[in-house]
Structure 1
Amino acid sequence: METSKVIHAIYTDDDVLMNAVKSVRAEKHHIEEIYTPFPVHGLDKAMGLAPTRLAITAFLYGAVGLAVSIFMMKYIMIEDWPQNIGGKPSFSFIENMPAFVPIMFELTVFFAAHLMVITFYLRSRLWPFKDAENPDPRTTDDHFLMEIAVHNNEEALTKLLKETGAVEVNIIEKEDEH
């Protein structure tokens, strides 16, 4: 494994952090990661992150759930075990569609919700028994941490971060995962 240097800048206010992110990005530095104790609205845009495509996957998972519900009801209620319930014969799917709508809705939501949770955990690389990657335990309480890669510019970057309101700036040797 290779090691590289990163700077950890600690902030105590989310508004100061937002302004610092904008200042660091304006100076053309690459922010590796930001650790926060709660979601900070607009931080993704300030960091220049691409919009998420999770909404597209949610729609696709819902469509899969709808298809599964249609095929399941058609097979169970029309082909495999047709029943005359309350005088309503089960000869066609279309005739019984009003009774099937709640099931189609519920399975659409069920598939979208459960598959989205699984997708989120896999995409975030969160699985059972995974060690925490949080570099500073204070970020789970009341501090914000900005991690920036260092490329022989420690002094200038440290000065910039102090000017943006960082209460603490540390240079850390970090092991690369790749």
Structure 2
Amino acid sequence: MEAPSKVIHALYTDDDILMAAVKKVKAAKHQIEEVYTPFPVHGLDKAMGLAPTRLAITAFLYGCVGLTVSVVMMNYIMIEDWPQDIGGKPSFSYIENMPAFVPIMFELTVFFAAHLMVITFYLRSRMWPFKKAENPDVRTTDDHFLMEIALNNNEAELTALLEETGAVEINIVEIEEEQH
């Protein structure tokens, strides 16, 4: 097990002040580990320098899987396995009956995209059942914003910078590194 490392927690009470603080800290070349907010803050990911999400790409791929499953399923069930003459429209081929299948194709595309995207999000975020919460301060679920920055023997300099950015509280915390 590694020795505990130190991080600094800076608490803010306003999202605009937090955004300005993140930009100042990044401009000063400090490593922001994480920012905890009670609600999504528009532009925070870009200000922190995070890579754009690829969740939309996976949603498209999952939708394609759903569309493929619906086409194969309907072709097998309604054309090959149990063809029926419904309202004088015999099931000779899938293409002739496709207009009637469009709602099912749409629904399964949305169903697969939505459900698999949620599962992917939870797995990617490591949010599985019975996982211990990682929130370092309960006030960030209500009305405070917390910026967590790694310390590298620059405690005084970083504390002065954070006070200058408008932090209402600054704490130095020792954390245990997780083994993944």
Same fold (TM over 0.5): yes
- How many Å separate the matches in 2 of 1:154 and 1:169? 11
1:122 aligns with 2:119: no
1:48 aligns with 2:72: no
- How many Å separate the matches in 2 of 1:75 and 1:97? 13
Stretches of structure 2 that go unaligned for 5 or more consecutive residues are: none
Indicate the residue corresponding to 2:27 in structure 1.
Answer: 26
Indicate the residue corresponding to 2:84 in structure 1.
Answer: 83
Indicate the residue corresponding to 1:139 in structure 2.
Answer: 140
5 Å matches for 1:138-157? Answer: 138-157=139-158
Q: Percent identity?
A: 83
Q: How far off is 1:127 after superposition? A: 1.1
| TM, length-normalised to structure 1 | 0.99
Cα deviation 1:20-60 (Å, max 9, x = unaligned) = 00000000001000000000000000000010111100000
- How many Å separate the matches in 2 of 1:114 and 1:163? 45
**SS at the partner of 1:173?**
strand
| Count of equivalent residues | 178
**SS at the partner of 1:172?**
strand
Structure 1 segments, 4+ long, off by >6 Å, are none
**SS at the partner of 1:96?**
helix
- How many Å separate the matches in 1 of 2:178 and 2:131? 15
Stretches of structure 1 that go unaligned for 5 or more consecutive residues are: none
Indicate the residue corresponding to 1:73 in structure 2.
Answer: 74
| Cα RMSD for the two superposed structures | 0.5
| TM, length-normalised to structure 2 | 0.98
**SS at the partner of 1:32?**
strand
